[in-house]
Amino acid sequence: MTTVDAAGADRYVASPPPGIRIFLLYGPDAGAVTERARVLEAVARLRDPAGGSVVRIGTDEISGNPGRLADEIFAVSLFGGEPIVTVRLSDGRVNLQPAVEPLLKQPLEQGYVIIEAGDLKNTSPLRKGVEGSGHAAAIPCYESDARGVTQQVQQQIAEAGQTIEPDALELVAGSLGGDRLVTRSEVAKLLTYAGEESPIRLEHVEAVIRDSLESRTDQIIDAAMLGRAEVLEASLERLRLDGSSPSALAAQALRHLLTLHGLRTEMETGARARDVVSRARPPIFFKRRGAVEETLSRWSLPDLRRARSIVGEAVSTARRQPALEMPAVSDALYRIAGFARRAGRGR
């Protein structure tokens, strides 16, 4: 049985045991799944004197032909090198176990199988099969907590030979979610913008990361909280066309609702919305403060808890049924917007 601790996943994929040739990457952090799959591909190619040959296939190519995976592994590459087959499990309803099971019965003598999956339960046949094999590894990929995001940002900035001021680091880490690829992409933009200016300062972060994230998530969340259905509809359509992650949006909405709950709790002692927003930590981006103040003045603590429950249900549905990810998250936000309008909160 080979299971990998989530905290040690990065170390493991950077140097997996030579006898392990089948890897299952699973969990809610799609960015970490993708990033670690690319690392494993690179490691496999380095270990092959001929450089390896990467083949990426989708579940639609395997679901009707379970033998396709074994055919790819045992095929002789025209370009030389061992086959490195990466399978992206895009539909959680597809059972990949029949395709993988024959390869789990005995150690592979050639080739590598790397499976990119979503958030699999411990009862998943695929996960159980891989975890029960002595020559395959199941690698969990969970979203980073605040500390993990901070460490990732610091490491990426240091690797670029840059430094960052403490308040700027706090805003970066507080603005980004736990998805590793999103974090890496946003920090890369920040580094490009800052150029040779060092250290990276708060104004750099506000000019790059917060502006970028605002267009992607803040506008959607604020439209829902203020009952602005037309803005919400248009923003969700852009999200769909951009191919952005609805689950990442839902996670950001949950974090924002937690922030709102904390700020609203302060207001219960008599503080004004403007005051609690101005001293919020991590800082609230100045372009968004008006919307947050308006939201706080209109939503009570019980109503905020209700909104959190609605979004939480959507997150659970998306994890159980990835095919319903977009409908579940969209429906949750429309419900919140409708609740805001009916309660007289929308404009």
CATH code of 18's domain: 3.40.50.300
User: What Cα–Cα distance (Å) separates residue 26 from each residue in 37, 91, 104, 118, 127?
Assistant: 10, 13, 18, 5, 9
Say yes or no: 219 and 306 in one domain.
Answer: yes
Strands 53-58 and 83-88: parallel
pLDDT of residue 347: 45
For residue 103, give both structure tokens. Answer: 């390869």
What's the half-sphere exposure (Cβ side, CA atoms, 13 Å) at 115? Answer: 32
pTM of the model: 0.54
Nearest to 37 by CA among 143, 116, 97, 113: 116
Strands 112-116 and 83-88: parallel
Say yes or no: 181 and 290 in one domain.
Answer: yes
Nearest to 213 by CA among 308, 119, 282: 282
Dist CA 142 CA 32 (whole Å): 8
> Cβ-count burial of 260 within 10 angstroms (0-12 exposed, 13-18 middle, 19+ buried)?
buried
Dist CA 135 CA 110 (whole Å): 13
Say yes or no: 157 and 131 in one domain.
Answer: no
What's the half-sphere exposure (Cβ side, CA atoms, 13 Å) at 181? Answer: 16
Say yes or no: 41 and 156 in one domain.
Answer: no
How close are the terminal C-alpha atoms of the chain, in Å? Answer: 58
For residue 325, give both structure tokens. Answer: 């990810």
Domain final residue pick, 108, 140, 172: 140
Whether a cis peptide bond, with omega within 30° of 0, leads into 199 is yes
Residue 103 located in a structural domain: yes
Residue 161 located in a structural domain: yes
**Is 174 in contact with 282 (CB distance < 8 Å)?**
yes
Say yes or no: 119 and 154 in one domain.
Answer: no
Say yes or no: 229 and 335 in one domain.
Answer: yes
Dist CA 58 CA 63 (whole Å): 9
Helix H or strand E encompassing 241:
helix 229-242
Residue 347 located in a structural domain: no
Domain that holds residue 68: 6-140
pLDDT of residue 63: 75
For residue 4, give both structure tokens. Answer: 């990998």
Nearest to 58 by CA among 39, 42, 72, 48: 72
For residue 3, give both structure tokens. Answer: 């299971």
Residue 186 located in a structural domain: yes
**Is 136 in contact with 12 (CB distance < 8 Å)?**
no
Residue 123 located in a structural domain: yes
E strands of 30-89, at which residues? 53-58, 83-88
Say yes or no: 323 and 267 in one domain.
Answer: yes
Say yes or no: 83 and 194 in one domain.
Answer: no
Say yes or no: 90 and 177 in one domain.
Answer: no
pLDDT of residue 77: 58
Tens-level pLDDT at each residue, the chain (347 residues): 577 888 889 899 999 999 999 999 998 888 889 889 999 999 999 998 887 888 888 877 787 788 888 888 887 655 567 899 999 886 556 678 888 998 998 888 889 999 999 888 888 899 999 999 888 999 998 876 767 788 889 989 999 999 999 888 887 876 776 677 778 888 999 999 999 888 999 888 877 875 555 566 888 999 999 999 989 998 888 777 766 678 878 888 998 999 999 999 999 888 898 999 988 887 787 778 899 999 998 899 999 999 999 999 998 888 888 888 899 999 999 999 988 887 664 44
